Structure 1
Amino acid sequence: VPLYVEEMTKAVLESGALRETAGAWVLDGPLDRLAIPASLHDSLMARLDRLQPVKEVAQTAAVIGRAFDLATLRALSPLPEAALAEALERLVAAELVFRRGAAPETSYLFKHALVRDAAYESLLRSRRQALHRHLVAILETTGAEPELLARHAQAGGETARAVAWWRAAAKAAIGRGAFDEAAAHLDAAQALTPGLPDERARRGAVAGVAAARALASLVRDGYADPRTVSLYAEAAALAREADDPAVLLSATYGVWAGHHVADAVGPALAVAAEIRGDAARTGDTDLEMMGDRSLAVSLTMAGRFDEARSAYERATALYDPSRHRAYAADIGVDPIVGTKCYSALAELALGHADRASSLIDEARILSKLAGGLNGQGYMLYHAAALAAAARRSAEAVALAEELGALSSRHGLALWGSMAPGVAGIGRLELGDARAALAQFAQWLTDAEATRAGVLAALKRAAMAEAMAVTGEDAALAMAVAAETHARRTGARYALAEAQRRHGIVLRLLRPDNHADAEAAFRRAIATAREQNARLWELRAACDLARLLDNEDRGAEARALLAPLCDGFTEGLDTPDLIDAWALLDHAP
């Protein structure tokens, strides 16, 4: 109402029907000469019409939006700079727009959204669309937000570009945890797909939207959540129908990741082979890189560390940061970050502690460059897991707590469910078995909800030891469950560690029965040797050496440990090597 009254007053004043006197305005002629607009819209249009040719500048500015800057308007308007400046002065004088700031940062704001709407709606549809198309081309060179580009492309009738920009806007929203916003952007993209010019383009767009919906579910609910798995399977099928290699890459990676996070190593290896097969069929080096990367991770989880190292080397050689870093927006993490994180876990098991630390440090730097909320969670978890596995316990607990806080702030169910498990390993190593048990209990509950099974055998085995330390008889069943899990799922990364902790549980619960504990330690050593996992072998050998020393078999203990210690050329200041040398010094 206030704007309507103001506009009616301006209409009367600008009509010339009133004459100003010393104390008042006086009607200067018959009242019936005065045309009163029937609506506010009519009033605004009448004022714009009286400002010809300034009206054209207002119309052009209205295409940009209620707020517009001088630089963009200059690029969009066909008027010479002097004529444009004069027109803007008249619009400001007429109080249709307000000016803010000084050149060259000058910007403008339509007095009211209805003023902008009146100018915008007065444009012919063809002219309006042409201006939007021109504006998209201008904004694409300035790094404008994807949502803004999508809106202008859609208004300009450029359906394919609009779909692409809506998908980009959704990925950006997913990257900052704005899941409802992302869903709205994807709905906008989906609604436009029937208007695409050909069947292949429509199929490709539908597949791309499906993959983006899967990514949102991945970040919010986790890789192994049934909704995520189903969405990625659907996207992969659509991508194959559309023969879209980019969407196929992200969708098949998502299918693989669902198996990986669920600790289903066999199916994960099969999907990795499928990705490599697609790469061989199409000659696509991006698919080849992702196939080798996925294969390397699954081989690590299978405890096939030497084979994994070869696959890591191939994936790293194929990685091109100029192309592949942007994949973080499609798959939730920069591929090279995952490559380095799992390569670090493999190198640790192989006995290269310093190399593992260097790899995780490199991954941290690259993760920051890639950005993204899921990338942060991914990096924190894997850094914490490596620290826990390496017995850098205080670091593991601190990183797990940081991950828990991040997950709580942004609703990241997967990473929130995985954090307590590594914190539990750290607290056990720090000597607080009861606090460790509380963390493990939370992990079991939360991980069941998200189906997060990565490194489950390692966590269950540590939980069994914590239970034994506190005198719980159920510790033995938990130790057996950890080893059974590793064998059943094929997740043999920590099988030797599970067998070693089984021996510790037996020693704690059955202190007079050394034979069973010794057998468990020897099984762990045999498994580690089979895998060439020298760190796991050293740990099991240390526990066996302690048992042998207690039985006055010190010479046997020395013969077991000495060649192992001599074989290490790095990580000499790590807890494991320090413990091993201390045992050697004590042995006769």
Structure 2
Amino acid sequence: YRLIQGFFVCRSLGTPVLKGVVAPIEAFEVVEPTGIHTRFEKAVASGLTPLVGREKEVELLLQDWEESKRGPGRVVMLSGEPGIGKSRLLRMLNERTAGERISEFEGRCSPYWRNSALYPTIDFLQNALQFKRGDGADTKFMRLEQQLEQWGFSLPESVPLFAALLSLPPNKRYPTLPMTPQRQKQKTFEALVAFLLRAAEQRPTRVIVEDLQWADPSTLELLELIIEHVPHAHLFVALSFRPEFSPPWAAQPHIRNITLSRLSRDDIEVMVRSIAGGKSLPPGVTNEIATKTEGVPLFVEELTRMLLESGLLGDRNGAYELTSPLPALAIPSTLYDSLMARLDRLGTAKEVAQLAATVGREFSYELLRAISPVEETRLTGALNRLVDAELLEEYLSAPRLGYRFKHALIRDAAYESLLRSQRRQYHSKIAEVLPEHFGDIVEVQPQLLAFHLTEAGLGQQAIPHWRNAAQKAAERSANAEAISHLTNALEILKTLPEDTSRAQHELALQLSLGVSLMLTKGYAATEVEAVYSRARELYNQVGESPQFYPILFGLWAFYAVRAEYKTASELGEQLVSLAQSAQDSALLVEAHAARGNTLSFLGELALAREHLEHAIALYDLKHYGSHAFTYGQDPGVHSLSYAALVLWLLGYPDQARTRSLEALALAQELSHPYSLAFALVHVLYIHRFAYEVKETEERAKELVALSTEHGFPITLAAGAAHLGWALAEQGRGEEGSIHIRQSIDTWRATGSTLFFQPFLLAMLAEAYGKVGSSEEGLTVLDEALAIANNTGERFWEAELHRLKGELTLQSQFQGSQFIIRDGAEGCFRKAIVVAERQHAKSLELRSVMSLSRLWLQQGKESQARQMLADIYGWFTEGFDTADLKEARTMLKRAL
């Protein structure tokens, strides 16, 4: 009865005689729930310490609450040191608004969960859905469907999002959504915000989240999004945190900041008298309390209670007096000492408090019972004593009864009082019980098991659970949390013997860490470079093996996007060699695609074509369609897209168009967003190369929309650059150049400051040329050529020299005509030499046309005609393209 008292209305059935039980035991019948979720009301009735010295803060809270009910929502940021009364103030808000018809959502962050993505949200959802231990996936899906329907959500769109958040397995009716982790995270956030906004449409809604100094990064992101929507709803958000926390969101008109200060001497005296039941304490004792506590309310309360329980004070005529002289050390100097003095007087209850503190600030009765060596009756009695002493408080977290330490400092004191050996023993017991009896918790939050194994000194057993936690976090695009979990695993790994097994485990962890760091820090971050450098060392240690193929592929992708083509080329050769040795066609598809990619950037176009065509020939959608989710993009789309680029460069524009459209069709069939964006980029290239301005503009807008929706900065930059080029071609050169410049900045912001830059800078130079800014264009081309020479990225080098010649001609009125034209001819000749060396016939054609144009102006018709005829005669297709049409026209002029 003691466990449920206050939560349910009960009727006494007297003291029936029970077989085998001598002492009378009163029995009760449960009548109905009371609707109470904490002991707050009971504590008030029995003398809960009143809120002292906070009248102004209470009025501000109530004022903002009332304003949020009538009009735009409000946010209150409540800051203060530990024990200053933040939670007590928020409880006062609940007390003063009791009986109002509202929706309220409360969450509390914890140091145990600071790297568990969206822990407060997941905890709330599990309670709201009444998930029980032992519930199967079908039962959980049924409850999820019912609740989402009540909340007004479309099931096909919302169930997969919430199921993933709750770590439910994929369901036949609700398969995994075809979207990137970042996009899924965005859609999940939108769904959670929509849920709050819908609640606020029905009735005033209050969201309270405490202890943000321990919030996980994803929770802070979600709160930032909620705060943005607060002015547009009847929504009140109260957030509490310690002074060391710095909110990541900017100050806004609807946000109020409240900082709680320490109590004055008068407030301390009022508080002490209240705790003493309205009786006064001797002035000397009160002075000592005021001096030692320095106005921290929690310390005032704990120290006063400690003295009242110590036997040093006696009640005489409605006031307390000292029963004997006050010993010098009778009043502890710190809150920790005060709390420990109280715990020491609780006997067995102290041991229960220490065990509970090992679980965390909050814990379920069920878990504590499973790990406690104490017999259940004694355990219940100990918990009752801790509740009566107001060190713990009970709460209902449906369907489980739970407890929480009244303050985090109480939990910390109990935990820190344990010997290190005892801590390890307790953590070990928790780690043993969790997977055996609480598998549902471990499934959703594997980092909890990993943490207890780590603290128990069982680090090697913890590593796979840290890795599992990181994978789950990465799947939700909670990359900051994933980084933390992987770092924990790597730190443990350092303590293990150095052998091949350790190197293999570290290699897998480092590569997972590299992916998360790329997404959060950017490709050029020093942290990313350190991870991949270490990964390459490890790969060389463990030797080539097909099982490490994705790792080697990840290394290749990293160095390729960093424009470190020499290293990328070596890794590409290793990919091909390993795949051939394994005689694995699945690996060969990826190997040839990667090798063809790198060779195309190096300007080795004929060899690149061979590898890409090999990959295309091996590719089978049925067998390799899943590669998009392992390697980041589909190898068929990858190979077809790059084949389109290479074929155009080699002088086969019709075949190039065919390959680009095949890539697009395949990407659409796959329903893999990044593969679709990748294919669209290369469709854009073919339109632009053919000077199909309107088609380029339309496809660019499509790509920008897709990339924005799914959060693909690289393809977004490519789309924006081509949109800028199309605008410049339509007479909007200044606007177009701004688009291209911004797209280059977007591209470089990802950390990829060199990769593909010559190609983008060439587009910017063209746009500058359209508005007569030839000097700016020439400066840009010098930068592009310097990057090409530095990185070895050669596939667009001929076009850079040709454009430099064209802009040199355009600037002829700014200097000597003879010198400038001679310089332009040199640029055109250089472009032709480069194109010939690369067998880049399309770029050779453009360069010959530019030089022929100049020669025709100089009266060198015969030379121009011969050169044009030679290159034009080489082509066997693409005669309806803009370049070949213009070449025909020029040939006629030269006759």
Aligned to 1:358: 658
Tell me which of 292, 301, 308 is aligned to 2:608. 308
Are residues 1:476 and 2:778 paired?
yes
Q: 2: distance between equivalents of 1:66 and 1:538?
A: 63
Q: Which one has a bigger Cα radius of gyration?
A: 2
Write 1 or 2 for the structure with the bigger share of helix: 1
Are residues 1:461 and 2:762 paired?
yes
Aligned to 2:9: 9
CA contact (8 A) 2:434 2:449 kept: no
Aligned to 2:789: 487
Aligned to 1:565: 872
Aligned to 1:99: none
Following superposition, the deviation at residue 347 of structure 1 comes to: 0.5
Aligned to 1:35: 27
Q: 1: distance between equivalents of 2:536 and 2:463?
A: 21
CA contact (8 A) 1:349 1:533 kept: yes
Aligned to 1:498: 800
Tell me which of 887, 890, 893 is aligned to 1:580. 887
Q: 1: distance between equivalents of 2:432 and 2:711?
A: 45
Following superposition, the deviation at residue 298 of structure 1 comes to: 1.4
Report the aligned-residue RMSD: 4.8
More off after superposition, 448-457 vs 299-308: 448-457
More off after superposition, 534-543 vs 431-440: 431-440
Following superposition, the deviation at residue 493 of structure 1 comes to: 0.3
Q: Does the C-alpha gap of structure 1 residues 61 and 321 become closer, same or farther in structure 2, counting only changes over 3 Å?
A: same
Following superposition, the deviation at residue 247 of structure 1 comes to: 6.4
Q: 2: distance between equivalents of 1:224 and 1:170?
A: 23
Are residues 1:63 and 2:134 paired?
yes
**Counterparts in 2 of 1:40-439, with a 5 A limit?**
62-64=133-135, 68=139, 113-115=397-399, 166=469, 169-170=472-473, 172-174=475-477, 178-180=478-480, 183=483, 204-219=504-519, 222-239=522-539, 241=541, 245=545, 248-279=548-579, 286-319=586-619, 321=621, 324-371=624-671, 374-408=674-708, 411-439=711-739
Q: 1: distance between equivalents of 2:741 and 2:432?
A: 64
Aligned to 1:525: 832
Q: 2: distance between equivalents of 1:362 and 1:233?
A: 37
Q: 1: distance between equivalents of 2:499 and 2:559?
A: 32
SS at match of 1:569: coil
Deviations 1:58-93 (A, max 9, x none): xx9622379826999xxxxxxxxxxxxxxxxxxxxx
Following superposition, the deviation at residue 300 of structure 1 comes to: 0.7
Q: Does the C-alpha gap of structure 1 residues 258 and 168 become closer, same or farther in structure 2, counting only changes over 3 Å?
A: closer
Q: Is there any run of 5+ residues in structure 1 with no aligned partner, and where?
A: 19-31, 41-59, 73-104, 106-111, 119-123, 137-145
Following superposition, the deviation at residue 149 of structure 1 comes to: 11
Following superposition, the deviation at residue 259 of structure 1 comes to: 2.9
Q: 2: distance between equivalents of 1:126 and 1:466?
A: 66
Following superposition, the deviation at residue 184 of structure 1 comes to: 7.1
2:399 partner letter: V
Deviations 1:290-321 (A, max 9, x none): 33322211111111111111122333344454
CA contact (8 A) 1:171 1:329 kept: no
Q: 1: distance between equivalents of 2:510 and 2:837?
A: 43
1:330 partner letter: T
Q: 1: distance between equivalents of 2:493 and 2:525?
A: 27
Following superposition, the deviation at residue 505 of structure 1 comes to: 0.8
CA contact (8 A) 2:700 2:723 kept: yes
Q: 2: distance between equivalents of 1:420 and 1:433?
A: 14
Deviations 1:18-52 (A, max 9, x none): 9xxxxxxxxxxxxx6533599x9xxxxxxxxxxxx
Q: 2: distance between equivalents of 1:295 and 1:232?
A: 19
CA contact (8 A) 2:774 2:810 kept: no
CA contact (8 A) 2:717 2:746 kept: yes
Q: Does the C-alpha gap of structure 1 residues 273 and 162 become closer, same or farther in structure 2, counting only changes over 3 Å?
A: same
Q: 2: distance between equivalents of 1:365 and 1:480?
A: 38
Write 1 or 2 for the structure with the bigger share of strand: 2
Q: 1: distance between equivalents of 2:509 and 2:550?
A: 12
CA contact (8 A) 1:464 1:478 kept: yes
Q: Does the C-alpha gap of structure 1 residues 286 and 35 become closer, same or farther in structure 2, counting only changes over 3 Å?
A: same
Following superposition, the deviation at residue 501 of structure 1 comes to: 0.7
CA contact (8 A) 1:289 1:314 kept: yes
Deviations 1:442-469 (A, max 9, x none): 2443444323433322332333343344
Following superposition, the deviation at residue 565 of structure 1 comes to: 3.1
Deviations 1:463-506 (A, max 9, x none): 33433442343433333333343233221101111111111112
Aligned to 1:510: 812
SS at match of 1:9: strand
Normalized against structure 1, the TM-score is what?
A: 0.69
Following superposition, the deviation at residue 179 of structure 1 comes to: 3.5
Q: Does the C-alpha gap of structure 1 residues 162 and 525 become closer, same or farther in structure 2, counting only changes over 3 Å?
A: same
Following superposition, the deviation at residue 563 of structure 1 comes to: 4.0
Aligned to 1:540: 847
Q: 2: distance between equivalents of 1:227 and 1:391?
A: 42
Deviations 1:332-366 (A, max 9, x none): 22223222221111111011122222222222233
Following superposition, the deviation at residue 243 of structure 1 comes to: 6.0
Deviations 1:175-208 (A, max 9, x none): xxx5456557757987998999x98666545433
CA contact (8 A) 2:707 2:716 kept: yes
CA contact (8 A) 1:212 1:330 kept: no
Aligned to 1:46: none
Q: Does the C-alpha gap of structure 1 residues 452 and 388 become closer, same or farther in structure 2, counting only changes over 3 Å?
A: farther
Q: 1: distance between equivalents of 2:469 and 2:676?
A: 24
CA contact (8 A) 2:480 2:520 kept: no
SS at match of 2:139: strand
Percent pairwise identity? 23
Q: Does the C-alpha gap of structure 1 residues 36 and 238 become closer, same or farther in structure 2, counting only changes over 3 Å?
A: farther
Q: 2: distance between equivalents of 1:265 and 1:248?
A: 21
Q: Does the C-alpha gap of structure 1 residues 371 and 253 become closer, same or farther in structure 2, counting only changes over 3 Å?
A: farther
Aligned to 2:44: none
Q: 1: distance between equivalents of 2:845 and 2:870?
A: 10
Normalized against structure 2, the TM-score is what?
A: 0.47
Q: Does the C-alpha gap of structure 1 residues 241 and 294 become closer, same or farther in structure 2, counting only changes over 3 Å?
A: same
Q: Does the C-alpha gap of structure 1 residues 378 and 182 become closer, same or farther in structure 2, counting only changes over 3 Å?
A: farther
Q: Does the C-alpha gap of structure 1 residues 236 and 263 become closer, same or farther in structure 2, counting only changes over 3 Å?
A: closer
